[in-house]
A and B are shown apart, each in its own frame.
Chain A
């Protein structure tokens, strides 16, 4: 548990100091005026991809257990949910991680963003069975994917 707090703290500190949790830098990305966020996400993917490939070939975690990666399902929610999330990301200037980071930084409006996000996730889980059909979502026990 302490490991997760530590990894989260490092992740949060980096998001805070890199511009990934900064309203101006998020808008600068969507306006194509600032490269910073494209550089961050691009570098992260460019290094995580070969890292994952190696870890999967190695096949084991540090404690020797087989590495298990649950793949996310493909459904109509990927596009619809992605578009909705994109609008929210632009409005708040935060994606889910930076919401928490901004709260830690003392940005008071981030508390409102978290409240909205919790209500949004709460509504989604409550009406899952009703959106399941139209968006071709997986059975309720599986959900849309852990991410």
Chain B
């Protein structure tokens, strides 16, 4: 199946996984940092909200690398678009458009609601797919294994409900 962005099939999963492992290990070996992206949400919050939670060491020290890293993520997505079909803004959302529809406003509301759960959930869990799922599980940390099983369960139940029951 082609990607929504490039209209061509994705690169092989083994190659993608190897690159992700390489970046994760480089981050530790070159900069002594453990991969983790969801804390960048708190880094941004720390610039906007004056709450003691955002003044703790993990944010003040970590945002020096995480903010440049997530700027890189945006840049990586931009280059990926630019070097394929060319960069142009899009509302395309694949099977969501085919089966659920809504309009732009509905899509925005749906995404905002999903985002709320992502922001609150990842911070309550102490990490996301990268920090828990890849780094934590690779480092054999029990909290990471528990969190990973939990978010996979949450995702599986939700998608099955949305696409096999509600919008069937």
Contacts and interface: CB of A to CB of B under 8 A. Distances in A.
Whether A and B are associated in the same complex: the answer reads yes
Interface in A37-81: 37-49, 51-52, 55, 61-62, 65, 67-75, 77-81
Q: Which of A73, A80, A97 has the most CB of B within 10 A?
A: A97
Tell me if B's interface is mostly helix, strand, loop or mixed.
Answer: helix
B62 A77 contact: no
16 contacts: A11-B69, A22-B10, A23-B93, A25-B10, A43-B17, A72-B141, A77-B124, A81-B150, A82-B147, A85-B118, A86-B151, A87-B157, A90-B159, A117-B119, A121-B119, A145-B131
B89 to A, nearest CB: 5
Give chain B's interface residue range (CB within 8 Å of chain A).
35 or more
Given A24-B95, A145-B126, A120 B72 contact: no
Interface of A: 1-32, 34-49, 51-52, 55, 61-62, 65, 67-75, 77-97, 99-110, 112-126, 128, 131, 135, 140-147
Contacts of B77: 12-13, 15-16, 21, 100-105
A72 B132 contact: yes
A28 B118 contact: no
A123 B3 CA distance: 34
Given A19-B3, A83-B151, A144-B123, A40 B69 contact: no
The 5 A-B pairs of least Cβ separation, nearest first, read: A8-B72, A86-B154, A147-B131, A116-B115, A12-B76
